[in-house]
Structure 1
């Protein structure tokens, strides 16, 4: 019985080896396996992802760059440079920029009661010999100033004195602005402003610098007063 079992086992092993060596691969269709259909939506999605540039907006070009020539503290000097460029058929405009030149530190006392309340408080302060005035312009208008200082530590020292006398004052930083001017060359005229022209312009405008940057909107830039 044991011999018969070993014989059958050996026969199965030999049959398996014959299948591996001489058998052929059976096509998928004979095994009953068919390719699954791909949904149209997946096909379209694949086509879209493979062509992202065709769906992106055509107006993604970078912003046009202008040439800025300057800067000048005097608008008249910028106007002279503008006239030189216009005479050469270079499209350009004067651009004015506001920059912070310095800061002052104001001691401010809030006042209730409008203009009449401010005048009454001002009279009371001046009777006590405290230098003060009513602020009439800007975001602090209607309040009373008890001093303007160029340094914050000076303002803080005076604030401490007034607070010790019972006056409620605060420090407000007020920025002082000034204008500076430059000449902006339009993108379509940039090709006309080459290194040779820049050298000639610097003979009359030694401090002139040039840089490329995004064009600034200008209203009535050519109407120089």
Structure 2
């Protein structure tokens, strides 16, 4: 009996030791992934699995090239320069700052004029024959020598629209088929042209200093296509 009791005691001790060892190993394995790491793992989602609403917004890269409402690129103009050497000096200063600057003559719009005329006749001879008739009636006129109205009769060019309309009505009342049209006047000016993006590279100090040195200079923007050489 004593041996049987001793055998049972040893058997119980062995079972207890095996149970403790197994529990310890299982507990260690359970700690391999902590709750916080497990939570982080659950947060990983593939972009392909996300809906469009979950995707972050894409930032737009600002552009330094300025365009107008129609999409045309805008150039910056500095001027006008009454003397060419002044424009050349400023263009050289800009070039020293690695700014592409081009001094050129640009045809600028001027005051509108109004031309009263008789449309071109069939030949120069017919034009002069008609001119003599008009002058014999005391109507001041001359033959237009060239241009789109060559061999027509001119009755004058006016800066006021009212005067042109009044003379046209007077001539029509006399049986002369006169007409009038607008004649936009232009003149050449020297301007420095900066291509798109160049003006934005200059700091405010440059523009302030330029304005102080040359207060009469203007800075404006225009479509590059309209100031192209």
- Which of the five TM-score ranges fits, normalised by the shorter chain? 0.5 to 0.7
Residue 152 (structure 1) shift: 1.7
Shifted more, 68-77 versus 103-112: the winner is 68-77
Q: Which residue of 1 aligns with 2:100?
A: 91
For the Cα contact (< 8 Å) 1:97–1:179, is it kept in 2? yes
Q: Which residue of 1 aligns with 2:113?
A: 104
Q: Which residue of 2 aligns with 1:64?
A: 65
DSSP 3-state at the match of 1:140: coil
CA distance in 2, matches of 1:89, 1:100: 31
Is 1:170 equivalent to 2:171 in the alignment?
A: no
Residue 114 (structure 1) shift: 1.9
1:135-214 matched pairs, under 5 angstroms: 135-187=144-196, 189-190=198-199, 193-210=202-219
TM-score (norm 2): 0.57
* Count of residues in correspondence between the two structures: 163
TM-score (norm 1): 0.58
Gaps of 5+ in 2: 1-51, 53-61, 67-73
Gaps of 5+ in 1: 1-49, 51-60, 220-225
Q: 1:167-213 deviations in whole A, cap 9, x for unaligned?
A: 11111111111234432234575565212222222232213344566
CA distance in 1, matches of 2:172, 2:130: 16
For the Cα contact (< 8 Å) 1:99–1:180, is it kept in 2? yes
Residue 109 (structure 1) shift: 0.8
